[in-house]
Structure 1
Amino acid sequence: MNTKEYISSGIIESYILGHASPEEAGILECVMKNNAEVKAAFEEAQKTLEHLATLQAVTPPGDLKSKIWNKIQQEQMVEEITPALSADLPEVKDYKENRDQDYSPRKSPWKTYAVAASVLFLVSVAGNVYWMNTQSANQKEIALLSAERQARQQAMQRMNRKLDMFSNPDMQMVMLKGVEKHADAKAMVFWDKKSKEVYLNAEKLPKAPAGMQYQLWAIEEGKPVNAGMYTEDKDSRIALANIPKAQAFAITLEKEGGSKVPTMENMFVMGEI
């Protein structure tokens, strides 16, 4: 794996988010010490994630402090009213009550503090739940951005491979145009004159339905020869077959796994050399 592939693997984002395994983290830290490009990519990703976190920061409601203070004052007013009502009651001169007067209940200021602590606790819990939900949304957005970035890098890698093929003097390019039923379909065959290997770029073909697959055919002496089954991961990257000679190429849509002979009514594109 080269440096660009390592950067695009997503390990940097996983490390920053704390999802990387100890082994992955250790490898990345070692690589950053010896590879300036990886270190620069790490710093860029870190700035991006920090910027996103700043944008998503949540400020507590402005009236939260006043609501808590009003709640505490209300509790204090209840404490002040209760002793005043007790003072208006007639005094009972019972011996036992006089004897036990030291044990009469006294109001404690700690109740006020307990109420305030409870309110603050509930606010804290609500804030933590909201923060956790926000963090979850942030992580989803970061994962989406990482996936989009990786998709762009993969598209760039495919483009670079095609450019290499275009600039290769040993590579013969055969344009395949859509037949009457599929006039908008297009494909490109890259045929290496030295190795005789055949590569296919079929991004302009419609996505194959479930259970179906595109099959490439080489026309040799008027007869179709199987030139391999196409999959997206092979596009312009992996040779489908070795074709010593051919006069034309065509693509048909077949059942998954291919066919021994082409289904002519399912032909999409064809091109002569």
Structure 2
Amino acid sequence: MNEKIITFLNSGLLEKYLLGEISSEETEHVESYIARHPEVENAYNTLQFNLELVAKSNAVEAPKSILNNILEVLDEKPVISLNATKKYKKWHKIGIAASIAASIFAGQSYYLHSKNEKLSDENQVVVDEIFDLRSDIEMNNKRLDDIMHQFKQLNDPETYKYIMQGNSRAKNLKTVAYINAKDKTSMIDVVSLPQLPKEQCYQIWAELQGEMVSLGILSETDRQLRALPYTEDALGLNITIEPKGGNTIASLENSVAKIQLK
């Protein structure tokens, strides 16, 4: 790899291009490098894969009913149509006519009051739905920030990738650990875990000098990129089969996968 390509890869333009944070002139510059240099194209594909991995692990399906409910309520016209007042024949006695007029007025008043209450309730529904949407937007913005943070961690040159594959006890087990000793961060992506009996679980450990420190329980239902406690001076990682709920001491005789750390 020549010095020109190395300088380009270290410039950060490729990451900014993928996130859409560069000018049109820089975009042309980046795309020409991707087209002309296989090394740059390979780096770009790796960045894309890492971004998709982070986005997929944080993906949350938005509720489908919220927008429909708001549109339905807003589509209703808050206009009350009143029928034209009917003409009545003159009554011989003023008292009877007054009573009928009062009854009609009371009926219309009750009708208007009921419609106003219904409209008030519907308006409150709209307010509540909008409030929920704002909360969802704030939550999604926070999740997006977390995704971008994870993406940058994955693509940090100081982040090392370790693939852990199962032994004969768990042949289909596969997890990927990402460890950055400089920032003191570690993450794990659970790719696949063979099913265990209900009374057992997988537990991951950090290996120190003569000691095993628990980093948590791994679950097939929790297949996403997630943080692991960072352990200073860890020599390796080990996954064991333990009783349901985890153990305080690693059952090394039930080890199913392990790696040495750099």
Q: State the TM-score, normalizing by the size of structure 2.
A: 0.50
Q: State the TM-score, normalizing by the size of structure 1.
A: 0.48
Structure number with greater Rg is 1
Larger relative helix fraction: 1
